[in-house]
Chains A and B, each alone.
Chain A
Amino acid sequence: MSDERIRTRRDFVKETSFGVAGMTLGLSAVRDGLLKPRRNSKVVLIRHKDVLDDEGTIDRAIFEQMLDDAVTTLFGNDDPTACWKGLLKPTDTLGIKTNVYPPLPTPPELNEMLEQRAMAVGIPEEKISTLDRGVLQDPNFQNATALLNARPLRAHDWSGIGGCIKNFILFDRPSDWHDDSCADLGAIWNLPVCKGKCRLNILVAMTPLFHSIGPHRYAPDAIWQYKGMFVSTDPVAVDALGVKLMEEMRKAFYDRPPRGGTSTKHVGIADTSHGLGVANLDEIELIKIGWMEDVLI
Protein backbone atom coordinates (compact mmCIF):
# COMPACT_ATOMS: atom_id res chain seq x y z
CA MET A 1 0.00 0.00 0.00
CA SER A 2 1.44 3.38 -0.92
CA ASP A 3 2.20 6.18 1.48
CA GLU A 4 -0.25 8.41 -0.35
CA ARG A 5 -3.49 9.22 1.45
CA ILE A 6 -6.08 6.53 0.95
CA ARG A 7 -9.20 7.87 -0.71
CA THR A 8 -12.44 6.02 -0.22
CA ARG A 9 -15.95 6.29 -1.55
CA ARG A 10 -16.71 8.32 1.55
CA ASP A 11 -14.20 11.00 0.52
CA PHE A 12 -15.75 11.26 -2.92
CA VAL A 13 -19.20 11.56 -1.42
CA LYS A 14 -18.00 14.45 0.71
CA GLU A 15 -16.18 16.22 -2.12
CA THR A 16 -18.46 15.89 -5.08
CA SER A 17 -21.98 15.15 -6.09
CA PHE A 18 -20.81 12.86 -8.88
CA GLY A 19 -21.59 9.23 -8.10
CA VAL A 20 -18.18 7.66 -7.76
CA ALA A 21 -19.31 4.31 -9.03
CA GLY A 22 -20.71 6.07 -12.05
CA MET A 23 -24.13 4.56 -11.56
CA THR A 24 -25.70 7.76 -10.39
CA LEU A 25 -24.83 11.27 -11.33
CA GLY A 26 -26.65 13.41 -8.84
CA LEU A 27 -26.43 12.62 -5.16
CA SER A 28 -28.81 13.68 -2.49
CA ALA A 29 -26.40 16.26 -1.11
CA VAL A 30 -26.80 18.48 -4.15
CA ARG A 31 -30.50 17.88 -4.42
CA ASP A 32 -30.82 18.98 -0.85
CA GLY A 33 -28.67 22.03 -1.39
CA LEU A 34 -25.88 20.84 0.86
CA LEU A 35 -23.32 21.39 -1.85
CA LYS A 36 -23.56 24.49 -4.02
CA PRO A 37 -22.65 24.38 -7.69
CA ARG A 38 -19.23 25.93 -7.95
CA ARG A 39 -18.30 25.85 -11.61
CA ASN A 40 -19.89 25.96 -14.99
CA SER A 41 -19.30 23.99 -18.16
CA LYS A 42 -21.31 24.39 -21.33
CA VAL A 43 -22.40 21.52 -23.59
CA VAL A 44 -24.60 21.67 -26.65
CA LEU A 45 -26.73 18.63 -27.47
CA ILE A 46 -28.07 18.82 -30.99
CA ARG A 47 -30.40 16.30 -32.61
CA HIS A 48 -32.17 16.04 -35.95
CA LYS A 49 -34.76 13.38 -36.70
CA ASP A 50 -33.81 13.14 -40.37
CA VAL A 51 -30.03 12.96 -40.07
CA LEU A 52 -30.27 9.16 -40.37
CA ASP A 53 -32.51 7.10 -42.56
CA ASP A 54 -33.91 3.74 -41.47
CA GLU A 55 -30.74 2.02 -42.62
CA GLY A 56 -28.60 4.36 -40.56
CA THR A 57 -27.20 6.23 -43.54
CA ILE A 58 -26.21 9.79 -42.70
CA ASP A 59 -27.70 12.74 -44.54
CA ARG A 60 -24.54 14.73 -45.07
CA ALA A 61 -26.25 18.11 -45.53
CA ILE A 62 -28.21 17.79 -42.31
CA PHE A 63 -25.13 16.60 -40.45
CA GLU A 64 -23.18 19.64 -41.71
CA GLN A 65 -25.92 21.95 -40.49
CA MET A 66 -25.99 20.21 -37.12
CA LEU A 67 -22.27 20.73 -36.66
CA ASP A 68 -22.51 24.39 -37.59
CA ASP A 69 -25.52 24.95 -35.35
CA ALA A 70 -23.76 23.23 -32.47
CA VAL A 71 -20.63 25.39 -32.62
CA THR A 72 -22.53 28.63 -33.15
CA THR A 73 -24.72 27.84 -30.16
CA LEU A 74 -21.76 26.77 -28.05
CA PHE A 75 -19.77 29.92 -28.74
CA GLY A 76 -22.64 32.37 -29.06
CA ASN A 77 -21.65 33.54 -32.53
CA ASP A 78 -23.98 33.16 -35.52
CA ASP A 79 -21.09 32.73 -37.94
CA PRO A 80 -19.70 29.17 -37.87
CA THR A 81 -16.57 30.25 -39.71
CA ALA A 82 -15.85 32.78 -37.02
CA CYS A 83 -16.34 30.08 -34.41
CA TRP A 84 -13.80 27.80 -36.07
CA LYS A 85 -11.38 30.70 -36.40
CA GLY A 86 -11.74 31.16 -32.69
CA LEU A 87 -10.84 27.52 -32.15
CA LEU A 88 -8.03 27.06 -34.67
CA LYS A 89 -5.28 29.17 -36.21
CA PRO A 90 -3.87 28.91 -39.75
CA THR A 91 -0.50 28.17 -38.21
CA ASP A 92 -1.78 25.21 -36.21
CA THR A 93 -0.68 21.66 -36.82
CA LEU A 94 -3.85 19.68 -36.24
CA GLY A 95 -4.61 16.17 -35.10
CA ILE A 96 -8.21 15.00 -35.37
CA LYS A 97 -8.50 12.11 -32.96
CA THR A 98 -11.11 9.77 -34.27
CA ASN A 99 -12.21 6.23 -33.39
CA VAL A 100 -12.18 3.20 -35.66
CA TYR A 101 -14.04 0.59 -33.56
CA PRO A 102 -15.38 -1.37 -36.56
CA PRO A 103 -19.06 -1.72 -35.66
CA LEU A 104 -19.36 1.89 -34.50
CA PRO A 105 -16.64 4.21 -35.79
CA THR A 106 -16.58 7.97 -35.84
CA PRO A 107 -18.67 8.77 -38.94
CA PRO A 108 -16.31 9.39 -41.87
CA GLU A 109 -18.55 12.31 -42.81
CA LEU A 110 -17.69 13.99 -39.52
CA ASN A 111 -13.98 13.46 -40.04
CA GLU A 112 -14.25 15.09 -43.47
CA MET A 113 -16.31 17.98 -42.12
CA LEU A 114 -13.75 18.71 -39.42
CA GLU A 115 -10.91 18.55 -41.94
CA GLN A 116 -12.79 20.95 -44.23
CA ARG A 117 -13.43 23.42 -41.45
CA ALA A 118 -9.81 23.32 -40.40
CA MET A 119 -8.71 23.97 -43.97
CA ALA A 120 -11.24 26.78 -44.22
CA VAL A 121 -9.48 28.40 -41.29
CA GLY A 122 -6.28 28.21 -43.30
CA ILE A 123 -4.52 25.13 -41.97
CA PRO A 124 -2.79 23.39 -44.91
CA GLU A 125 -4.06 19.90 -45.67
CA GLU A 126 -0.62 18.43 -45.06
CA LYS A 127 -0.69 19.82 -41.53
CA ILE A 128 -3.85 17.89 -40.68
CA SER A 129 -3.99 14.23 -39.68
CA THR A 130 -7.12 12.28 -38.88
CA LEU A 131 -6.28 9.11 -37.00
CA ASP A 132 -7.17 6.72 -34.21
CA ARG A 133 -4.42 4.12 -34.03
CA GLY A 134 -0.93 5.31 -34.84
CA VAL A 135 -1.20 8.80 -33.44
CA LEU A 136 2.15 8.52 -31.66
CA GLN A 137 3.87 7.65 -34.91
CA ASP A 138 2.24 10.41 -36.95
CA PRO A 139 4.27 13.61 -37.44
CA ASN A 140 1.26 15.89 -37.29
CA PHE A 141 0.07 14.38 -34.03
CA GLN A 142 3.62 14.41 -32.69
CA ASN A 143 3.91 18.12 -33.45
CA ALA A 144 0.29 19.07 -32.98
CA THR A 145 -0.54 22.48 -31.62
CA ALA A 146 -4.26 21.70 -31.72
CA LEU A 147 -6.42 18.62 -31.39
CA LEU A 148 -10.06 17.92 -32.17
CA ASN A 149 -11.65 14.91 -30.48
CA ALA A 150 -14.56 13.11 -32.12
CA ARG A 151 -15.93 9.68 -31.35
CA PRO A 152 -19.20 7.79 -30.87
CA LEU A 153 -20.77 7.14 -27.51
CA ARG A 154 -20.82 3.51 -26.46
CA ALA A 155 -20.95 1.26 -23.46
CA HIS A 156 -17.58 -0.23 -22.65
CA ASP A 157 -17.10 -3.36 -20.61
CA TRP A 158 -13.95 -2.21 -18.89
CA SER A 159 -14.30 1.56 -18.53
CA GLY A 160 -18.10 1.76 -18.49
CA ILE A 161 -18.22 4.34 -21.24
CA GLY A 162 -16.26 4.73 -24.44
CA GLY A 163 -16.31 8.49 -24.58
CA CYS A 164 -14.19 11.52 -25.25
CA ILE A 165 -11.91 11.07 -22.23
CA LYS A 166 -11.04 7.52 -23.16
CA ASN A 167 -10.50 8.43 -26.79
CA PHE A 168 -7.06 9.80 -25.86
CA ILE A 169 -5.83 6.47 -24.48
CA LEU A 170 -3.79 5.91 -27.62
CA PHE A 171 -1.61 8.87 -26.70
CA ASP A 172 0.17 6.36 -24.48
CA ARG A 173 0.43 2.59 -24.16
CA PRO A 174 -3.21 1.63 -23.50
CA SER A 175 -2.47 -1.25 -21.15
CA ASP A 176 -0.82 1.20 -18.76
CA TRP A 177 -4.20 2.85 -18.21
CA HIS A 178 -6.49 -0.12 -17.75
CA ASP A 179 -5.90 -0.52 -14.04
CA ASP A 180 -8.98 -0.25 -11.83
CA SER A 181 -11.45 0.04 -14.68
CA CYS A 182 -9.40 2.79 -16.32
CA ALA A 183 -9.92 4.96 -13.24
CA ASP A 184 -7.21 7.47 -14.09
CA LEU A 185 -7.86 7.93 -17.77
CA GLY A 186 -8.20 11.65 -17.17
CA ALA A 187 -4.50 11.84 -16.39
CA ILE A 188 -3.65 10.95 -19.98
CA TRP A 189 -4.79 14.41 -20.90
CA ASN A 190 -1.89 15.81 -18.87
CA LEU A 191 0.71 14.06 -21.02
CA PRO A 192 2.76 16.57 -23.04
CA VAL A 193 1.60 15.13 -26.34
CA CYS A 194 -1.93 16.32 -25.67
CA LYS A 195 -1.99 18.59 -22.63
CA GLY A 196 -3.91 21.78 -23.30
CA LYS A 197 -4.21 21.09 -27.01
CA CYS A 198 -7.77 19.84 -27.39
CA ARG A 199 -9.98 22.60 -28.72
CA LEU A 200 -13.29 20.77 -29.15
CA ASN A 201 -14.88 17.48 -28.12
CA ILE A 202 -17.67 15.88 -30.10
CA LEU A 203 -19.35 12.88 -28.52
CA VAL A 204 -21.34 11.44 -31.37
CA ALA A 205 -24.68 10.03 -30.28
CA MET A 206 -26.17 9.16 -33.65
CA THR A 207 -26.53 5.48 -32.74
CA PRO A 208 -25.18 5.00 -29.21
CA LEU A 209 -24.45 1.50 -27.98
CA PHE A 210 -26.10 1.80 -24.59
CA HIS A 211 -25.33 -1.64 -23.21
CA SER A 212 -22.96 -4.48 -23.84
CA ILE A 213 -22.31 -7.85 -22.30
CA GLY A 214 -18.77 -9.12 -22.19
CA PRO A 215 -15.52 -7.61 -23.34
CA HIS A 216 -15.23 -6.05 -26.80
CA ARG A 217 -18.84 -6.73 -27.66
CA TYR A 218 -21.24 -5.00 -30.00
CA ALA A 219 -24.94 -5.74 -29.99
CA PRO A 220 -27.35 -4.38 -32.59
CA ASP A 221 -30.21 -4.69 -30.10
CA ALA A 222 -28.55 -2.11 -27.87
CA ILE A 223 -28.27 0.55 -30.56
CA TRP A 224 -30.58 3.55 -30.24
CA GLN A 225 -31.16 5.86 -33.19
CA TYR A 226 -30.76 8.94 -31.04
CA LYS A 227 -29.54 11.09 -33.94
CA GLY A 228 -27.58 13.56 -31.90
CA MET A 229 -24.19 14.71 -30.70
CA PHE A 230 -22.76 16.47 -27.67
CA VAL A 231 -20.33 19.29 -28.40
CA SER A 232 -18.17 21.06 -25.84
CA THR A 233 -14.69 22.20 -24.98
CA ASP A 234 -15.01 20.05 -21.84
CA PRO A 235 -14.41 16.31 -22.41
CA VAL A 236 -15.57 15.41 -18.91
CA ALA A 237 -18.87 17.20 -19.28
CA VAL A 238 -19.77 15.49 -22.56
CA ASP A 239 -18.86 12.11 -21.08
CA ALA A 240 -20.85 12.76 -17.91
CA LEU A 241 -23.87 13.48 -20.09
CA GLY A 242 -23.08 10.41 -22.15
CA VAL A 243 -23.12 8.30 -18.98
CA LYS A 244 -26.46 9.79 -18.04
CA LEU A 245 -27.90 9.23 -21.50
CA MET A 246 -26.87 5.57 -21.55
CA GLU A 247 -28.37 5.14 -18.11
CA GLU A 248 -31.66 6.64 -19.27
CA MET A 249 -31.63 4.49 -22.41
CA ARG A 250 -31.19 1.35 -20.32
CA LYS A 251 -34.08 2.42 -18.12
CA ALA A 252 -36.25 3.03 -21.16
CA PHE A 253 -35.23 -0.14 -22.96
CA TYR A 254 -35.33 -2.71 -20.20
CA ASP A 255 -38.24 -3.64 -17.97
CA ARG A 256 -35.57 -4.25 -15.37
CA PRO A 257 -32.42 -2.27 -16.20
CA PRO A 258 -29.19 -4.17 -15.57
CA ARG A 259 -27.55 -3.02 -12.37
CA GLY A 260 -24.31 -3.48 -10.59
CA GLY A 261 -21.82 -3.44 -13.45
CA THR A 262 -20.12 -1.13 -15.85
CA SER A 263 -18.47 1.38 -13.58
CA THR A 264 -17.89 4.73 -15.22
CA LYS A 265 -15.97 6.20 -12.34
CA HIS A 266 -13.13 7.43 -14.54
CA VAL A 267 -15.42 10.26 -15.61
CA GLY A 268 -15.86 11.49 -12.06
CA ILE A 269 -12.21 10.94 -11.22
CA ALA A 270 -11.19 12.96 -14.28
CA ASP A 271 -12.94 15.83 -12.53
CA THR A 272 -12.15 15.29 -8.87
CA SER A 273 -8.60 13.98 -9.14
CA HIS A 274 -7.31 15.30 -12.44
CA GLY A 275 -9.14 18.58 -12.87
CA LEU A 276 -9.89 17.88 -16.50
CA GLY A 277 -13.43 19.19 -16.52
CA VAL A 278 -16.79 19.08 -14.85
CA ALA A 279 -18.58 15.80 -14.13
CA ASN A 280 -21.32 17.10 -11.87
CA LEU A 281 -24.47 17.42 -13.95
CA ASP A 282 -25.67 20.24 -11.73
CA GLU A 283 -22.69 22.29 -12.84
CA ILE A 284 -23.05 21.60 -16.55
CA GLU A 285 -25.04 24.02 -18.65
CA LEU A 286 -26.72 21.72 -21.16
CA ILE A 287 -28.20 23.53 -24.16
CA LYS A 288 -30.50 21.26 -26.12
CA ILE A 289 -31.41 22.20 -29.67
CA GLY A 290 -33.22 20.48 -32.52
CA TRP A 291 -35.35 17.36 -32.28
CA MET A 292 -36.59 16.80 -28.72
CA GLU A 293 -38.64 13.61 -29.01
CA ASP A 294 -37.29 11.02 -26.53
CA VAL A 295 -34.41 13.30 -25.66
CA LEU A 296 -34.22 11.45 -22.32
CA ILE A 297 -31.95 13.95 -20.57
Chain B
Amino acid sequence: MDLSKLIPGTVGTWAPVDDYPDARYDKQTIFDYMNGAGEVFLSFAYQEMFVRYLEKQDEQLTIELYDMGNAADAFGIFARSRSGDDIGIGQGSQYWSGQINFWKDRYYVSVFTLTETEDSKRDVFDLARAIAANIPDEGQPPAILSLLPPEDLHEETIKYFHLHTDLNRYYFISDSNILGLDSNTEAIIANYESGQEYRFLLVVRYPDPERAGEVFTTFHDTWLPEADEDGAVEIEEGQWSSAILAGPYIISVFDAQSAESARNLLAATQDRIEGVDQ
Protein backbone atom coordinates (compact mmCIF):
# COMPACT_ATOMS: atom_id res chain seq x y z
CA MET B 1 0.00 0.00 0.00
CA ASP B 2 1.16 3.51 -0.76
CA LEU B 3 1.27 4.96 2.73
CA SER B 4 0.58 8.49 1.52
CA LYS B 5 -2.89 7.40 0.42
CA LEU B 6 -3.88 6.90 4.06
CA ILE B 7 -3.72 10.65 4.64
CA PRO B 8 -6.83 12.68 3.80
CA GLY B 9 -6.51 15.03 0.83
CA THR B 10 -7.17 18.11 2.93
CA VAL B 11 -6.48 18.61 6.60
CA GLY B 12 -8.43 21.65 7.78
CA THR B 13 -6.45 24.74 6.89
CA TRP B 14 -3.11 23.00 7.25
CA ALA B 15 -0.90 23.28 4.17
CA PRO B 16 2.26 21.44 3.09
CA VAL B 17 5.55 23.02 4.12
CA ASP B 18 7.48 24.16 1.05
CA ASP B 19 10.90 23.52 2.59
CA TYR B 20 10.00 20.06 3.88
CA PRO B 21 8.49 17.88 1.16
CA ASP B 22 6.99 14.46 1.78
CA ALA B 23 9.65 11.85 2.46
CA ARG B 24 9.93 8.06 2.64
CA TYR B 25 12.47 6.06 4.58
CA ASP B 26 13.17 2.36 4.24
CA LYS B 27 15.26 0.01 6.39
CA GLN B 28 18.47 1.52 5.14
CA THR B 29 17.55 5.19 5.28
CA ILE B 30 15.49 5.40 8.47
CA PHE B 31 18.57 6.65 10.31
CA ASP B 32 18.54 9.71 8.06
CA TYR B 33 15.20 10.63 9.59
CA MET B 34 15.68 9.80 13.25
CA ASN B 35 19.34 8.95 13.79
CA GLY B 36 19.80 6.24 16.40
CA ALA B 37 16.12 5.90 17.16
CA GLY B 38 15.89 3.99 13.89
CA GLU B 39 17.21 0.96 15.74
CA VAL B 40 13.98 0.83 17.68
CA PHE B 41 11.98 0.24 14.51
CA LEU B 42 14.51 -2.15 13.03
CA SER B 43 14.16 -4.39 16.06
CA PHE B 44 10.72 -5.16 14.64
CA ALA B 45 9.72 -6.11 11.09
CA TYR B 46 9.73 -2.46 9.97
CA GLN B 47 9.36 -2.01 6.22
CA GLU B 48 9.14 1.71 5.50
CA MET B 49 7.76 5.01 6.74
CA PHE B 50 6.20 8.06 5.17
CA VAL B 51 6.34 11.52 6.68
CA ARG B 52 4.39 14.64 5.75
CA TYR B 53 4.91 18.09 7.25
CA LEU B 54 2.07 20.60 7.46
CA GLU B 55 1.91 24.15 8.72
CA LYS B 56 -0.64 26.79 9.63
CA GLN B 57 0.56 30.29 10.50
CA ASP B 58 3.27 29.66 13.11
CA GLU B 59 2.18 26.12 13.94
CA GLN B 60 3.62 22.93 12.52
CA LEU B 61 2.13 19.47 12.36
CA THR B 62 3.85 16.24 11.40
CA ILE B 63 2.34 12.97 10.24
CA GLU B 64 4.38 9.79 10.40
CA LEU B 65 3.06 6.53 8.97
CA TYR B 66 5.02 3.34 9.60
CA ASP B 67 4.53 0.00 7.87
CA MET B 68 5.68 -2.38 10.60
CA GLY B 69 5.44 -5.51 8.48
CA ASN B 70 2.74 -7.22 10.54
CA ALA B 71 0.10 -6.35 13.12
CA ALA B 72 1.94 -7.90 16.03
CA ASP B 73 4.94 -5.66 15.48
CA ALA B 74 2.72 -2.62 14.97
CA PHE B 75 1.33 -3.38 18.41
CA GLY B 76 4.89 -3.89 19.69
CA ILE B 77 6.15 -0.49 18.63
CA PHE B 78 3.01 1.17 19.99
CA ALA B 79 3.17 -0.64 23.32
CA ARG B 80 6.84 0.23 23.69
CA SER B 81 6.07 3.78 24.76
CA ARG B 82 2.40 3.86 25.66
CA SER B 83 1.22 5.25 28.95
CA GLY B 84 -2.11 6.55 30.10
CA ASP B 85 -5.61 5.90 28.88
CA ASP B 86 -6.59 4.70 25.44
CA ILE B 87 -8.32 7.39 23.37
CA GLY B 88 -10.25 5.02 21.12
CA ILE B 89 -8.48 5.46 17.79
CA GLY B 90 -7.38 2.44 15.76
CA GLN B 91 -6.66 -0.69 17.79
CA GLY B 92 -4.73 1.08 20.50
CA SER B 93 -3.99 4.76 20.95
CA GLN B 94 -2.81 7.46 23.28
CA TYR B 95 -2.66 11.23 23.35
CA TRP B 96 -0.04 13.18 25.15
CA SER B 97 1.18 16.74 24.79
CA GLY B 98 0.08 17.40 21.23
CA GLN B 99 0.87 13.91 20.03
CA ILE B 100 -1.31 10.96 19.08
CA ASN B 101 0.20 7.52 18.54
CA PHE B 102 -1.95 4.61 17.43
CA TRP B 103 -1.73 1.26 15.70
CA LYS B 104 -4.09 -0.48 13.35
CA ASP B 105 -3.44 -3.56 11.22
CA ARG B 106 0.26 -3.50 10.30
CA TYR B 107 0.55 0.27 10.65
CA TYR B 108 1.82 2.48 13.42
CA VAL B 109 0.88 6.14 13.13
CA SER B 110 2.10 9.23 14.91
CA VAL B 111 0.53 12.66 14.46
CA PHE B 112 1.98 15.50 16.45
CA THR B 113 2.38 19.20 16.86
CA LEU B 114 4.84 20.91 19.15
CA THR B 115 2.42 23.72 19.91
CA GLU B 116 -0.56 22.32 21.69
CA THR B 117 -3.63 24.54 21.44
CA GLU B 118 -7.31 23.70 21.52
CA ASP B 119 -7.40 24.06 17.72
CA SER B 120 -4.31 22.00 17.07
CA LYS B 121 -5.46 19.32 19.48
CA ARG B 122 -8.77 19.06 17.66
CA ASP B 123 -7.00 18.86 14.31
CA VAL B 124 -4.60 16.19 15.55
CA PHE B 125 -7.56 14.09 16.74
CA ASP B 126 -9.52 14.63 13.50
CA LEU B 127 -6.52 13.71 11.42
CA ALA B 128 -5.68 10.61 13.40
CA ARG B 129 -9.29 9.41 13.20
CA ALA B 130 -9.35 9.99 9.44
CA ILE B 131 -6.12 8.04 8.92
CA ALA B 132 -7.42 5.20 11.07
CA ALA B 133 -10.62 5.10 9.00
CA ASN B 134 -8.55 4.88 5.81
CA ILE B 135 -6.83 1.72 7.04
CA PRO B 136 -9.39 -0.82 5.89
CA ASP B 137 -8.64 -3.81 8.08
CA GLU B 138 -7.80 -4.60 11.66
CA GLY B 139 -4.89 -6.87 12.49
CA GLN B 140 -4.41 -9.61 15.04
CA PRO B 141 -2.59 -8.54 18.21
CA PRO B 142 0.18 -10.94 19.24
CA ALA B 143 -1.42 -14.24 20.26
CA ILE B 144 1.08 -14.57 23.10
CA LEU B 145 -0.75 -11.76 24.93
CA SER B 146 -3.50 -14.21 25.78
CA LEU B 147 -1.09 -16.07 28.06
CA LEU B 148 -0.92 -13.23 30.57
CA PRO B 149 -3.03 -13.99 33.66
CA PRO B 150 -5.42 -11.05 34.12
CA GLU B 151 -5.34 -10.81 37.92
CA ASP B 152 -3.18 -7.84 39.07
CA LEU B 153 -2.00 -7.25 35.50
CA HIS B 154 -1.07 -3.62 34.90
CA GLU B 155 -2.15 -3.66 31.27
CA GLU B 156 -0.44 -0.53 30.02
CA THR B 157 2.92 -2.00 30.98
CA ILE B 158 2.63 -4.92 28.54
CA LYS B 159 5.56 -4.90 26.13
CA TYR B 160 5.98 -7.14 23.09
CA PHE B 161 9.37 -7.59 21.46
CA HIS B 162 11.84 -9.97 19.87
CA LEU B 163 15.38 -9.04 20.83
CA HIS B 164 17.64 -9.16 23.85
CA THR B 165 18.30 -5.46 23.49
CA ASP B 166 14.64 -4.70 24.05
CA LEU B 167 14.36 -7.05 27.02
CA ASN B 168 17.20 -5.15 28.62
CA ARG B 169 15.31 -1.94 28.11
CA TYR B 170 12.40 -3.25 30.16
CA TYR B 171 14.21 -5.45 32.65
CA PHE B 172 17.93 -5.94 32.70
CA ILE B 173 18.90 -9.56 33.24
CA SER B 174 22.32 -9.90 31.68
CA ASP B 175 24.67 -8.23 29.26
CA SER B 176 24.70 -11.54 27.39
CA ASN B 177 21.75 -12.94 25.49
CA ILE B 178 21.17 -15.79 27.93
CA LEU B 179 17.56 -16.19 26.78
CA GLY B 180 18.62 -16.71 23.18
CA LEU B 181 16.28 -14.01 21.88
CA ASP B 182 16.32 -13.29 18.16
CA SER B 183 13.98 -12.30 15.36
CA ASN B 184 12.38 -15.76 15.53
CA THR B 185 11.37 -15.46 19.16
CA GLU B 186 8.36 -13.62 20.53
CA ALA B 187 8.46 -12.19 24.03
CA ILE B 188 6.18 -10.28 26.34
CA ILE B 189 6.94 -8.70 29.66
CA ALA B 190 4.39 -7.10 31.94
CA ASN B 191 4.05 -5.82 35.47
CA TYR B 192 1.79 -7.31 38.10
CA GLU B 193 1.03 -4.86 40.86
CA SER B 194 -0.48 -5.85 44.16
CA GLY B 195 -0.11 -3.67 47.21
CA GLN B 196 3.58 -2.88 47.51
CA GLU B 197 4.58 -5.75 45.26
CA TYR B 198 5.57 -5.05 41.67
CA ARG B 199 6.36 -8.30 39.88
CA PHE B 200 7.58 -8.70 36.32
CA LEU B 201 6.35 -11.62 34.25
CA LEU B 202 8.33 -12.58 31.16
CA VAL B 203 7.07 -15.09 28.62
CA VAL B 204 9.21 -16.10 25.63
CA ARG B 205 7.99 -18.31 22.81
CA TYR B 206 10.64 -20.19 20.83
CA PRO B 207 10.18 -21.77 17.40
CA ASP B 208 9.93 -25.24 18.94
CA PRO B 209 10.15 -27.00 22.34
CA GLU B 210 13.65 -28.31 21.60
CA ARG B 211 15.06 -24.81 21.16
CA ALA B 212 13.23 -23.67 24.29
CA GLY B 213 14.73 -26.56 26.22
CA GLU B 214 18.27 -25.78 25.09
CA VAL B 215 17.93 -22.13 26.05
CA PHE B 216 16.28 -22.95 29.36
CA THR B 217 19.30 -24.97 30.43
CA THR B 218 21.65 -22.07 29.75
CA PHE B 219 19.30 -19.52 31.25
CA HIS B 220 18.65 -21.51 34.38
CA ASP B 221 22.32 -22.34 34.95
CA THR B 222 23.25 -18.68 34.61
CA TRP B 223 20.37 -16.92 36.30
CA LEU B 224 19.15 -19.38 38.92
CA PRO B 225 21.97 -21.88 39.47
CA GLU B 226 21.20 -22.41 43.16
CA ALA B 227 17.47 -22.91 42.69
CA ASP B 228 16.04 -25.73 44.78
CA GLU B 229 13.49 -28.12 43.43
CA ASP B 230 10.78 -25.54 43.95
CA GLY B 231 12.78 -23.31 41.65
CA ALA B 232 12.69 -19.91 43.36
CA VAL B 233 15.72 -17.85 44.37
CA GLU B 234 15.94 -14.63 46.38
CA ILE B 235 17.94 -12.46 43.96
CA GLU B 236 17.94 -9.36 46.15
CA GLU B 237 16.58 -8.89 49.61
CA GLY B 238 12.85 -9.51 49.36
CA GLN B 239 12.96 -9.95 45.59
CA TRP B 240 12.46 -13.47 44.31
CA SER B 241 12.83 -14.90 40.85
CA SER B 242 11.80 -18.21 39.36
CA ALA B 243 11.47 -19.75 35.91
CA ILE B 244 9.94 -22.78 34.24
CA LEU B 245 9.96 -24.43 30.85
CA ALA B 246 6.55 -25.13 29.31
CA GLY B 247 6.64 -26.58 25.81
CA PRO B 248 8.02 -23.93 23.48
CA TYR B 249 7.81 -21.30 26.24
CA ILE B 250 10.11 -20.09 28.97
CA ILE B 251 8.26 -18.28 31.71
CA SER B 252 10.07 -16.28 34.35
CA VAL B 253 9.04 -14.04 37.22
CA PHE B 254 11.23 -11.29 38.65
CA ASP B 255 10.98 -9.09 41.75
CA ALA B 256 8.31 -11.14 43.52
CA GLN B 257 8.19 -10.48 47.26
CA SER B 258 8.17 -14.17 48.09
CA ALA B 259 8.88 -17.53 46.54
CA GLU B 260 5.21 -18.36 46.78
CA SER B 261 4.24 -15.21 44.89
CA ALA B 262 6.70 -16.05 42.11
CA ARG B 263 5.48 -19.63 41.89
CA ASN B 264 1.81 -18.61 41.85
CA LEU B 265 2.29 -16.30 38.90
CA LEU B 266 4.27 -18.95 37.04
CA ALA B 267 1.57 -21.52 37.69
CA ALA B 268 -1.21 -19.21 36.55
CA THR B 269 0.68 -18.57 33.32
CA GLN B 270 1.38 -22.25 32.79
CA ASP B 271 -2.32 -22.99 33.20
CA ARG B 272 -3.11 -20.57 30.40
CA ILE B 273 -0.45 -22.11 28.16
CA GLU B 274 -1.95 -25.52 28.71
CA GLY B 275 -5.31 -24.09 27.78
CA VAL B 276 -4.22 -23.06 24.30
CA ASP B 277 -3.21 -25.11 21.31
CA GLN B 278 0.56 -25.07 21.14
Q: Mark A residues whose CB is within 8 Å of B.
A: 1-2, 4, 6-10, 12-13, 20-21, 27-29, 103, 157-158, 169, 174-175, 178-183, 212-222, 258-263, 265
Question: Which of A10, A218, A262, A263 is packed against the most chain B CB atoms within 10 Å?
Answer: A10
> Given A158-B40, A175-B36, A214 and B101 touching (CB < 8 A)?
yes
* In the complex, chain B residues whose CB is within 8 Å of the CB of A183: 168, 175
Number of chain B residues whose Cβ lies closer than 8 Å to a Cβ of chain A: 49
Q: How far is the CA of A175 from the CA of B36 in the complex (A)?
A: 6
* In the complex, chain A residues whose CB is within 8 Å of the CB of B115: 220
> Given A13-B235, A215-B34, A263-B170, A220 and B98 touching (CB < 8 A)?
yes
**Contact in complex: A157, B176 (CB < 8 Å):** no
The interface stretch among B157-165, B203-211, B262-270 is: B157-165
* In the complex, chain A residues whose CB is within 8 Å of the CB of B35: 174, 216
> Given A9-B173, A28-B236, A213 and B99 touching (CB < 8 A)?
yes
Q: Smallest CB-CB separation from B33: which chain A residue?
A: A216
**Contact in complex: A21, B235 (CB < 8 Å):** no
* In the complex, chain B residues whose CB is within 8 Å of the CB of A217: 99, 112
**Contact in complex: B236, A27 (CB < 8 Å):** yes
B222 to A: closest C-beta gap in Å? 6
**Contact in complex: B99, A158 (CB < 8 Å):** no
Contact of A260 among B114, B176, B191 (CB under 8 A): B191
**Contact in complex: A181, B98 (CB < 8 Å):** no
CB 8 Å contact bits of B61-103 with A (1 = contact, 0 = none): 0000000000000000000111100000000001011110100
Q: Which 6 A-B pairs have the closest CB atoms?
A: A215-B37, A221-B97, A219-B97, A8-B174, A6-B176, A213-B81
**Contact in complex: A261, B98 (CB < 8 Å):** no
A103 to B: closest C-beta gap in Å? 7
Q: In B139-167, which residues have CB < 8 Å from any A CB?
A: 157, 159, 164-165
Q: How far is the CA of A262 from the CA of B40 in the complex (A)?
A: 12
Q: How far is the CA of A251 from the CA of B81 in the complex (A)?
A: 18
**Contact in complex: A6, B168 (CB < 8 Å):** no
B202 to A: closest C-beta gap in Å? 12
**Contact in complex: B175, A216 (CB < 8 Å):** no
Q: Smallest CB-CB separation from B223: which chain A residue?
A: A8
**Contact in complex: A8, B40 (CB < 8 Å):** no
* In the complex, chain B residues whose CB is within 8 Å of the CB of A179: 165
**Contact in complex: A215, B40 (CB < 8 Å):** yes
A50 to B: closest C-beta gap in Å? 26
Q: How far is the CA of A296 from the CA of B93 in the complex (A)?
A: 32
**Contact in complex: A265, B172 (CB < 8 Å):** yes
> Given A8-B223, A260-B191, A221 and B116 touching (CB < 8 A)?
yes
